[in-house]
Amino acid sequence: MFQAGWSRQEIQIEAKGYAMFGYGSWQHRAYKKRTPLYVRTVVIQDHQEKPLIFSCLDFGCITHAMRSEVLAELKKQMADLFCEERFVMTATHTHSGPGGCAYEALYNMPTPGFVPEHLHAVVYATVSSIQYAVKVLGRTEIRMSTTHFSEDVPVAWNRSLNAWNRNPDVQQRKETETHLAMNREMQLLGFYRDGQLHAFISLFGVHATCLGNTLNAHDGDNKGYAAGYSEQYLLEQGIHHPVAIFAQATAGDISPHFHGKNQLKIRQAIKGEQEYQYAQKNGRYQSEQALEALMKPGTVLSGELDAVLSYTDLSNVDIPLELSHGVKHARTSIPCHGVAFFAGTPVDGPGTAKPIVRVMSFLSQQYKKQKLKDRTADDFDFYQQLFASQGVKSILMESGIKRILGKPLGFAPGFIDPLVNEINRQVKAGAIRESPLVPSVVPLQMIQIGQLRIVCCPGELTTTAGKRVLETIVQNTSDQPIWLASYCNDYMGYVTTYEEYQEQAYEGGHTLFGQWTNAAFQLKFSALAQQLENTEAQRQHDRTTRPAEVPLQELLKRTNRGNLKTAVSE
């Protein structure tokens, strides 16, 4: 039997008017708190001294800044008892939580800028929750179980049906079947003492976007409400300090809003207070599904804890023929945002207006033709490889080299959009000369709890992309149970399948490293899984690679100290 402890700690961030993370909207600002935002942690220990730690935050994502700062504190406080490879930090992906917690520049732009007080609050809450969970470690039975939402439970729909139907390994679905173009399974780890459920972890993929981008309050959205309902239920059963974690599985193409005929009309009818009610209802569906399954006998986990973690440069992965559809010399590339990214999703988060999208697409294609026209140009080989990697994507921003349609950041007139204006200010201030816009070197992790393995991914995987990652691992390792958690340890955008990528819906436009990104995940996670099967002494995975340090002077220049209009000091 394992030792386990759990804890819940509120992230104390005051809503002062900064933009929230998720929709990338300058106007989506928080002026009040609707619900608390929590860090929920479960700590597990076996006969070894070093525990496995699983922390889930009511946040849009985890960043390298968040993880690295928490790691620094844990190493100080736990010393030799702490193992970085055994620490999972994940997020519910609420779009109604604070931003400004990244060292990289781009996803902080709406906030605007890096906000140290937000990061400090995250670190304090996360470390505090871990400390308390360690303090209350006790003999605990861990049970594994799965449950499926019945087809008539309106909990989730596929929002990119055309992309889904491009996959040869899925059942084709009609517009009336978007609720079936997904994985309706919820996976559960229950923590029991004296036969009673005290805490649990749920993995089920659905976006936390019940609440749209016109609201103005911090809120945990559907996953937060699911946790709150579950914890209240357990409290009423006499359980002291229960913890319910509703983490994400493959949520990349899954929406909590109806998708099908009249989808926009139906979504637009849900406004204001109704959006909160909708989020509560969606959370209750998840809570009731989990609790019903956890009251039944599950599979008791036994054995040891283990974990492996390795940082990978996703901009430079060579893809073998068996994963590249027979294409020779396939490889990933520097991160690039496509026009489809800026267009957004039609129901969950509409972006740039369609006429502007058409102009951007035209300009992108003209730019591509220009770069491939002159084979004697100094940069021809670079762009030939870039466009081969990015495929059909209409590239607007070459994020890895900080260019928009081939021009350096800062050239576009600021009146176009407040975000463009903020980019221009930061460029002029010299705040992003050497700093990355988005991460490229990201952590890939696998943990093992007895006979269960969990793949911990740093991005948003679509349903089928995640399925293929797991299938590749199983083909090359043992057939032990294996699950997938997303939004873990950092954020690197989306991961679609090769076929879905060709559709260039929002998810494909935000698959930054090109059409072979999922193949890179299959390759790297399969290799990592093989290392997990080796003894500690036999393991040879890369444990030294880490992201480059962000220039401190540049970070300071885009650090916000309370100005809601810009991060740059006037």
Give the active site residues: 255
Task: Answer whether 117's CB lies under 8 Å from 559's CB.
Answer: no
Q: Which helix (H) or strand (E) holds 218?
A: strand 217-218
Please state whether beta strands 395-398 and 403-404 pair in parallel, antiparallel, or not at all (unpaired). antiparallel
How many Å apart are CA 15 and CA 37, to the nearest integer? 11
* 454: phi then psi, degrees, rounded to nearest 5: -130, 125
Measuring CA to CA, how many Å separate 405 from each of 360, 394, 416, 418? 9, 10, 16, 19
- Identify which of 425, 407, 429, 405 has the alpha carbon closest to the alpha carbon of residue 417: 425
Q: What is the rounded radius of gyration, in angstroms, for the C-alpha atoms of the chain?
A: 22
* 337: phi then psi, degrees, rounded to nearest 5: -95, 130
Measuring CA to CA, how many Å separate 492 from each of 168, 347, 511? 26, 23, 8
How many Å apart are CA 428 and CA 430, to the nearest integer? 5
- Residue 192 annotated in ligand binding: no
Hunting for tokens 């081939």 — which residue is that? Answer: 406
Task: Answer whether 212's CB lies under 8 Å from 10's CB.
Answer: no
- Residue 494 annotated in ligand binding: yes
Angle between helices 517-533 and 463-476 (to 10 degrees): 40
How many Å apart are CA 194 and CA 151, to the nearest integer? 35
- Residue 460 annotated in ligand binding: yes
Binding residues for Zn(2+): 93, 207, 460, 494
Binding residues: 93, 207, 460, 494
